[in-house]
Structure 1
Amino acid sequence: MPEYNSKNILQYQIDYTNISLISNKIRVLIIGGGRAGFIKAKTFIKNGCMVTMLSKEFTNSFDELKGSHNIEFIRDDYKQDYILNYHLVIIAIDDNNTRELIKKHCEKYCKLYSDSSEFRRGMFLVPCQRKTRYINLSLNTKEGSPKTSVYLTNKLTDVAKAYDDFVDYCCKLRNSLKDNPLKNEITNFVNTDDFYFFFEKNVHNKVLKMFYGGNEIEINFSYEKKYPSTDSNGFNNRYD
């Protein structure tokens, strides 16, 4: 295992490859029963992953998680065999020797691991995540500023909510066009600011039929907006 120098670590910017995991298929092992382990556990439990906590001791904070169906606790010291049945390993301990040993074992068995002591020393980090009705958002800063990530993600979530109905519409339309030879052309046509304007005016179905309806290409698809932009008093009620 190469020696890490904290000064060198902070001198380069990391490139990220982002993926979205299907939560209920992911098994996460979190090693450490302190604050760092608790924060990570809350995130993965909330998103539906199966979480196992490994530590000789746990802080009182974990009491609020014991009622969750997707968490289990193992009171034991770390052993190599513990990592074998997990996709992700979170290292949240202060013992440098044990931390480096866990990393060595993870690399041996091709396990993705995160180092809570310094995220650049791990293989992945957990971005700030938010959800609307039809959109998942995740964001992290390249050089590491969690509070900035929270601030920006909250702002982007407010923007994304305005497009919830439109995203629902586009997804349902795409699925209805599965065998249509003009699927790509139609979805390109729909996913534009111009078409979104018609969607907001609730005349999107007429526009779609105008361009792509008829005998040769019949789109058997109709969609009414669930949440109109304004109510009778002129107030925005899209998020209700």
Structure 2
Amino acid sequence: MLENDIMFISIIPSRVRVGIIGGGRGAYIKARSFIYHNCEVQVVARNFIKEFESLSGVEIIQGEYKSEFIEDKHIIIIAVKKGELEEEIIADCNKKSKLFFTLSDFKRGMGTVPAQASLENISFALNTKGGNPKAAVMLKEEVKHSLKDYDIFIGFINNLRNKAKKFHRHKTEIINFIATKDYKFMWEKGKAREVLMLFFPEDVIGELFD
């Protein structure tokens, strides 16, 4: 594995509690992002930039960081400068097995928070190797534009896939068949049902398209 390889995971934001230590620009950007995705967010710092005043949906705690702050959090964002405080928070996170990210230098944490976007049926995230968030945001728009051609098709086969689950004998074959560029081509030609009829029983296809 390459040293700068990363792995993505997907979370259900409404079930995730995020703790942010720091009141500067980086802390504000991360708080805004997590709130937008419906996470529960608390931020602690001695001082906060003015932008926090207009940020709704976040709990602001003005004061010193204490290790108790991270106890009930799933994700910790360390948005303070390099120094003793950052070292203390990192040690606390490691001790309590927290998923944490450091804004001063992403390599000191457990990764980076990726650029992400959603269409109606597709969600995606991306990073650049080496830590370049501005470039990731630029690429996000390019990827989002290219995925628009697939979005309606993915919604269509999602529906078929969910219905196919009850056909234990044919489930795997149907799911594998519909998630291909060849099937997308037939769908675009208006032959989504007809091509499946060539390979699967008529009663099964009838229920898939009911």
Residue 106 of structure 2, aligned match among 119, 132, 144: 119
State the TM-score, normalized to the length of structure 2. Answer: 0.93
State the TM-score, normalized to the length of structure 1. Answer: 0.82
Give the CA deviation at 1:138.
Answer: 0.4
CA contact (8 A) 2:196 2:205 kept: no
CA contact (8 A) 2:164 2:208 kept: no
Give the CA deviation at 1:221.
Answer: 2.1
SS in 2 for 1:73: strand
Corresponding residue of 1:187: 175
SS in 1 for 2:202: coil
Corresponding residue of 2:156: 169
The AA in structure 2 aligned to 1:200 is: E
Corresponding residue of 2:141: 154
The AA in structure 1 aligned to 2:163 is: S
Give the CA deviation at 1:134.
Answer: 0.7
* Percent identity of equivalent pairs: 37
More displaced 10-residue stretch of structure 1: 127-136 or 180-189: 180-189
CA contact (8 A) 2:186 2:192 kept: yes
Corresponding residue of 1:43: 33
More displaced 10-residue stretch of structure 1: 36-45 or 197-206: 197-206
Higher helix share: 2
CA contact (8 A) 1:31 1:53 kept: yes
Give structure 2 stretches of 5+ with no counterpart.
none
Corresponding residue of 2:49: 59
CA distance in 2, matches of 1:213, 1:148: 49
Q: Runs (4+) of structure 1 moved beyond 4 Å?
A: none
CA contact (8 A) 1:92 1:116 kept: yes
Give structure 1 stretches of 5+ with no counterpart.
1-11, 224-240
CA distance in 2, matches of 1:40, 1:18: 18
CA offsets 1:79-126 (integer angstroms, 9 cap, x no match): 011110000110101251011000101111101111100001001310
CA distance in 1, matches of 2:112, 2:66: 23
Corresponding residue of 1:19: 9
How many pairs are equivalent? 208
CA distance in 1, matches of 2:67, 2:79: 16
